[in-house]
Amino acid sequence: MTQGKLLTGNAAAAWGARLADVDYIPAFPITPQTEIIELLAQWTAEGTMPARFVTLDSEHSMLTAAGAAAATGARVFTATSSQGLLYGFEMLYAIADWRVPLEILAAYLTPGEEPVPRGGAGLPILSWLNGTEDMHW
């Protein structure tokens, strides 16, 4: 009999990336998706997830690195917040034009929700998203 494990949404997203056998994880930790990035960083450091993990200076550079890596054929996963996605939005147009496969998870807090233990996140800017969304290109 298999044993189940209760996970947060962020931990489940990290497990999804791990099980998808991604090759490259460009990251910029920002609440509320920090837990995803922390787990992926831990697994890559331990060697239990054979992927290249790179922390970048901003969401803009993170999305640039993600798109460029996907263009080389690497399987790429990254995550950001709603505000982070908006900051990197300029690159999304270019990446969409490249027509490369890329997995981006945008996490944000719903109005009135308390941030997960790290504090300090704003309300969602991308009002057309309802919850945590996956975007596939």
Tell me the CA end-to-end span of the chain in Å, nearest whole number.
Answer: 37
Structural domains present in the chain: 25-136 (3.40.50.970)
Instruction: pLDDT band for 121, please (50, 70, 90 cuts).
Output: very low
pLDDT at 131: 43
Q: pLDDT tens-digit profile of 82-95?
A: 777 777 788 888 88
Torsion of CA 33, 34, 37, 41, to 10 degrees: -170
| Other Cβ atoms within 10 Å of 72 Cβ, number | 10
Q: Is the pLDDT of residue 56 over 70?
A: yes
Single pTM value for the model: 0.76
Please, what is the average pLDDT of the chain? 80
- Read off the pLDDT of each residue in 30-56 and give the average, rounded to a whole number: 93
Q: pLDDT tens-digit profile of 15-30?
A: 999 999 999 999 988 7
Write phi, then psi, for 115 (nearest 5 degrees). Answer: -65, 150
Q: Tell me the CA distances in angstroms from 81 to 4, 13, 92, 99, 127, one per residue in order.
A: 28, 14, 14, 23, 13
Contacts with 105 (C-beta within 8 Å, 6 or more apart), sequence order: 13, 33, 36, 77, 78, 79, 80, 132, 133, 134, 135
Instruction: pLDDT band for 114, please (50, 70, 90 cuts).
Output: low
pLDDT at 130: 40
